[in-house]
C-alpha cells in the first residue's frame, strides 16, 4: 500500500458527490459546450463599408470558438471530473462497478449499505471497503488530498 495522505471526511464527501452527480455533470458539460460553440450574444459584422474599423472586425469564428472552449475553466474542471470517474470506473472489477451502479447511479432505489451488500453477496463492511477503494482511486486520479 502506498503512503497516501488520508483524505478528510469533507474530501471523501466531495468525491462521492461527484459520483452521485456524474450524469448531471455530463449534461452540464454538454450545455456549456453548446453555449460556447453557439453563442447567442455575438453581434454580426455590420461594417460593410470597410474603412478604419474593418481590421478590428475581421475575425476567425473557428479561432474564437476554440479560444472560448480552451478558456472555460468550468468546462475544464467538469471535464476533468468526468474523465477521472470514467478512468476509475473502467478500471474497476465488475463487482465494484455493480456497487457504483447501486450506490451512486441508481436514482429509483436509494439503497442503504445493508441492501447494497445483500445485492452484491458480500458483507456490509466489505461493500464499504470497496467504496473506500473507489473513492481513494478517484482521489489519486484527480490529484486531490
pLDDT digits (tens, 9 = 90+) for 90-139: 999 999 999 999 999 997 777 899 999 999 999 999 999 999 999 999 99
Task: pLDDT band for 45, please (50, 70, 90 cuts).
Answer: low
- Is the pLDDT at 27 greater than 60? The verdict is yes
Give the pTM.
0.76
Query: How do the domains of the chain map onto residue ranges?
Result: 9-38+60-142
DSSP string, the chain: ---PPPPPHHHHHHHHHHHHTHHHHHHHHHHHHHHHHS-S-PPP---TT-STTHHHH---HHHHHHHHHHH-HHHHHHHHHHHHHHHHHHHS-HHHHHHHHHHTS-TT----HHHHHHHHTS-HHHHHHHHHHHHHHHHHHHT--
pLDDT band at 56 (very low <50, low <70, confident <90, very high): very low
* 102 vs 60, residue with greater confidence: 102
Amino acid at each position: 500500500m502506498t503512503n497516501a495522505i488520508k483524505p478528510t471526511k469533507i474530501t471523501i464527501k466531495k468525491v462521492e458527490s461527484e459520483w452521485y452527480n456524474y450524469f448531471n455533470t455530463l449534461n452540464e458539460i454538454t450545455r456549456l459546450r453548446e453555449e460556447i460553440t453557439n453563442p447567442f450574444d455575438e453581434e454580426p459584422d455590420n461594417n460593410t463599408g470597410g474603412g478604419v474599423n474593418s481590421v478590428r472586425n475581421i475575425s476567425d469564428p473557428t479561432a474564437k470558438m476554440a479560444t472560448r472552449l480552451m478558456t472555460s475553466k468550468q468546462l475544464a474542471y467538469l471535464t476533468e471530473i468526468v474523465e477521472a470517474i470514467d478512468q476509475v470506473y473502467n478500471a474497476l472489477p465488475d463487482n465494484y462497478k455493480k456497487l457504483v451502479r447501486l450506490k451512486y447511479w441508481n436514482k429509483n432505489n436509494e439503497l442503504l449499505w445493508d441492501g447494497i451488500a445483500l445485492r452484491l453477496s458480500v458483507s456490509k463492511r466489505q461493500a464499504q471497503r470497496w467504496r473506500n477503494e473507489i473513492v481513494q482511486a478517484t482521489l489519486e486520479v484527480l490529484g486531490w488530498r
